[in-house]
Structure 1
Amino acid sequence: MPEEEVHGPIDYVLVEFTGNKLTGRAAEELVNLVERGIVHVYDVMVVGKDADGSTYMVDLAEASDQAGGFTDLSGARTGILAEDDLADVAGAMEPGTLAALIVYENTWAIPFVAAAMESGGQLVAGGRIPAQDVMDVLESLESLEPTT
């Protein structure tokens, strides 16, 4: 199967930030990954949750402190994320925070997926280990290493 017809794994992340504005640093790195061809962003939604629990969407087409650098990804709107996803996102958020919900394709994996499919392979299981869990385990393992 030609690589043009193959997709990499599609993931989503919900990243919550304290306060009511984004610094732009996370968005800058995401744009960098897109420019390097490592990921393709399908959708981005930035949601705010006030201290009283009310939620709102941040308009990424308007440059604002709340949108951070995600304004650079305002065109990433395929429709995978819809307005009704706002309630799900809000339910996962703490009051007084902003969150970015990002749906992206791991384009780096397309050659691997194509080769596996051409060889008769098929995905039978998959999963994701949260980055914080990995960092916690590695830190605990380092504390067990003998010091010299």
Structure 2
Amino acid sequence: MSDVDVHGPIDFVLLEFTGDKLTGRAAEELVNLVDRGIIYVYDVMLVGKDADGSPYLADLAEAAAGFENLSGARSGILADDDLAAAAEAMEPGSLAALIVYENTWAIPFVAAAQESGGQLIAGGRIPAQDVMEVLDALDTLEPTS
């Protein structure tokens, strides 16, 4: 089986931005990951939620600094009903980037596992914020010796 026949895990993230903090840095880093071959972006959808809670689809090139480079990322994996689902998780008056990406760095590992008869039977993700909170809490504990 060649690596061309194999895909890495595909993830999605919903990054909510409030206020005027959308600087473009997150988009720059996402493009950097693509340029380095670490991920492949399938879809980027910019979702807004009005103050009254009504969702809308925003134009990437116009609404979000840095995301204009990703405005062509529409594979069809994300559908219109994903807009409503994303908006449900959002706060009113916010803007969020819904991003679907493949972890291309994992393709050689996935191929090797499959060639050895391995298959993924469980997986999960621990959000970065949770990891940072646990590590911060561990830093405050006194060492036991």
| TM-score interval, normalised by the smaller of the two chains | over 0.9
Residue of 107, 110, 113 corresponding to 1:110: 107
Give how far 1:55 is off: 1.8
Q: What residue ranges of structure 1 are gaps of 5+ in the alignment?
A: none
Residue of 126, 131, 138 corresponding to 1:129: 126
Please say if 1:89 is aligned against 2:86: yes
Moved over 4 A (4+): none
- Superposition RMSD in Å: 1.2
Query: Structure 1 CA distance, aligned partners of 2:111 and 2:51?
Result: 47
Residue identity opposite 1:58 in structure 2: A
Deviation string, structure 1 residues 22-79 (Cα, Å, up to 9, x no partner): 211100000000000000000000011121212211112xx32x22211101111000
Residue 138 of structure 2 corresponds to 141
Query: Comparing 38-47 with 11-20, which one deviates more in the overlay?
Result: 11-20
Q: What is the aligned-residue identity percentage? A: 78
Deviation string, structure 1 residues 57-106 (Cα, Å, up to 9, x no partner): 1112xx32x22211101111000001121110111100111000000000
Give how far 1:145 is off: 3.4
Residue 64 of structure 2 corresponds to 67
Q: What residue ranges of structure 2 are gaps of 5+ in the alignment?
A: none
Deviation string, structure 1 residues 78-136 (Cα, Å, up to 9, x no partner): 00001121110111100111000000000000000001111111111100000011001
Q: Figure out how many residues of one structure are paired with residues of the other and give that number.
A: 143
Please say if 1:8 is aligned against 2:8: yes
